[in-house]
DNA sequence: AAACATTTTTAGTTTTGCCTAAAAATATAA
DNA sequence: TTATATTTTTAGGCAAAACTAAAAATGTTT
């Protein structure tokens, strides 16, 4: 499996979650910052290897085999992120690009040993679940802050958008995984929220709230 | 710098140590398990980028810029080897292939943080020196066991050949870095040696002795 | 120094992964 | 439902990195 094939599988995997239909070549091309025609080429190759199911003009979807491969790449990516943050003191907004490279290292032993070394973490630094060595993903109860009702006490358990600008905003506001959040009021006009984050008052836009995962206390 | 270019630089670097003249395309092709014609192509490209000095039919040598790059790849390779052995419990005969992949990961921050995490090791698991972040290599006093005189007490500090078959042989004989070795006698016929390794008697062929680095106590 | 052998380079292909431009299929609108 | 717009695929090309086979240069013998 080449570097490039792995990237395609990963992208198709991510586009698939919560999307039951076939993934369009356009969507893939957008995500990969490439061209639809390039995607068509690669998708044919992946179909040849039975990693995706593909019918012309109908989009693609992962086969079970393809899904299994994709999940393993995600596992590697997220384990490396934990390593970078927990062991090498990277911050959560710095890990993505390096993990993108590390996820392609081929050695089952390496990844299982790393898993053990990190104490079998179940989530990465952004709160995303880490598949176990069999590809099983423990799903966590979580909801968007924007969809949470008033006066609820919740804790922050993840981010939807993990762009560094969003993560740096959260750092600035001292919101981290594990932060206690209470929704004090919701502005009707723009859906912005008044919060208490670790007992300190903070006002956030709906866009912020729509990218923060929380779970009830 | 591509993956392939890095591999060429690394190979040229290794062939250069202890070899003042230009490195032949044939030598490089042998080392890389490829063909001389392929080497010629790549060498031209590297010369274009001023990483090597190259004159047709005269072989290649690294420029200072090329040497600096090569040393950084070696630094990464050896640091990752330390990581694998010290932190993930790999044995010294298992690390090479994985380190070969990891050495191409691009992130200065990663490698400096890793260095720090490992406590700034000066040698890799085979006793080879690890260049510091400026490319400086501390050279260690060491000699081949085969060139050591009788009745000398030495300790094992490295291996010349780091193939897994040799390393596994050493494991079996319980010879490791730090082992105390005394040369009891040398057989004139085949230059084989009678040793005491950690006070236990052991007889080894000249070939073994010619691949073990030791230093006087 | 000429003849032969070896090494190195050149020339021309192949494969992979991408591209552009044009054609084909599908989706949307009048 | 036909016309128009959008999406997707095909066709043909390009660059990187490898290869084979042939040509050129260098080395080695006699």
- What is the pLDDT, as a whole number, of residue A18? 79
Q: Give the 3-state secondary structure of residue A211.
A: coil
Nearest to B105 among A90, A101, A107 (CB): A101
Segment A11-37, tens digit of pLDDT: 999 999 978 788 999 999 999 999 999
Mean of all residue pLDDT scores within chain A? 97
**Is the CB of A97 less than 8 angstroms away from the CB of B107?**
yes
- CA–CA gap between residue A124 and residue A93 (Å, rounded): 12
Q: Is B109 in the A-facing interface, judged by CB distances under 8 Å?
A: yes
Q: What value does the CA radius of gyration of chain A take, rounded to a whole number of Å?
A: 19
Q: Is A2 in the B-facing interface, judged by CB distances under 8 Å?
A: no
Give the pLDDT band of residue A163 (cuts 50, 70, 90): very high
CA B111, B114, B119: angle at the middle one, nearest 5?
130
Å from A131 (CA) to C3 (C1')? 70
- For residues A162 and A147, the answer to whether their CB atoms sit within 8 Å is no
Segment A117-128, tens digit of pLDDT: 999 999 999 999
* Burial class, B140, CB count within 10 angstroms (exposed 0-12 / middle 13-18 / buried 19+): middle
What's phi and psi for A193, nearest 5 deg?
Answer: -120, 145
- Domain boundaries in chain B? 3-62, 143-216
**Is the CB of A101 less than 8 angstroms away from the CB of B114?**
no
- What is the pLDDT, as a whole number, of residue B20? 74
pLDDT over threshold 80, residue B66: yes
- What is the pLDDT, as a whole number, of residue A44? 97
Segment B186-215, tens digit of pLDDT: 999 999 999 999 999 999 999 999 999 999
First to last CA, chain A: 43
Fold of B143-216: SH3 type barrels. (2.30.30)
- What is the pLDDT, as a whole number, of residue B21? 82
Q: Which nucleotides of D are covered by protein (CB under 7 A)?
A: 7-12, 16-22, 25-26
Segment A127-143, tens digit of pLDDT: 999 999 999 999 999 99
Å from B21 (CA) to D24 (C1')? 23
- What is the pLDDT, as a whole number, of residue A147? 96
The beta strand positions in A16-74, using DSSP E, are: 52-54, 60-62
CATH number of B3-62: 1.10.10.10
Segment B82-125, tens digit of pLDDT: 999 999 999 999 999 999 999 999 999 999 999 999 999 999 99
Give the pLDDT band of residue B217 (cuts 50, 70, 90): confident
Segment B174-185, tens digit of pLDDT: 999 999 999 999
Å from A48 (CA) to D18 (C1')? 23
Segment B154-177, tens digit of pLDDT: 999 999 999 999 999 999 999 999
């Amino acid at each position: 499996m080449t570097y490039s094939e792995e990237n395609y599988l990963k992208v198709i995997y991510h586009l698939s979650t919560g999307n039951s239909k076939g993934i369009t070549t356009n969507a893939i091309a957008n995500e990969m910052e490439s061209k639809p025609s390039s995607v068509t080429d690669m998708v044919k190759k992946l179909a040849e290897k039975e990693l995706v199911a593909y019918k012309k003009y109908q989009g693609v979807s992962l086969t079970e085999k393809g899904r299994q491969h994709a999940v393993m790449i995600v596992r590697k990516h997220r384990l490396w992120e934990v390593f970078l943050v927990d062991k090498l003191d990277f911050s959560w907004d710095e890990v993505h690009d390096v993990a993108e490279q590390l996820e392609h290292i081929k050695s089952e032993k390496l990844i299982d040993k790393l898993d053990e070394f990190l104490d079998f973490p179940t989530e990465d630094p952004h709160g995303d679940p880490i598949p176990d060595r069999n590809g099983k993903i423990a799903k966590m109860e979580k909801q968007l802050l924007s969809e949470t009702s008033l006066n609820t006490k919740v804790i922050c358990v993840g981010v939807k958008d993990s762009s560094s600008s969003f993560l740096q905003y959260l750092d600035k506001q001292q919101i981290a995984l594990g932060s206690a959040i209470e929704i004090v009021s919701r502005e009707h006009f723009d859906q912005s929220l008044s919060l208490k984050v670790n007992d300190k008052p903070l006002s956030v836009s709906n866009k912020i709230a729509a990218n923060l995962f929380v779970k009830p206390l």
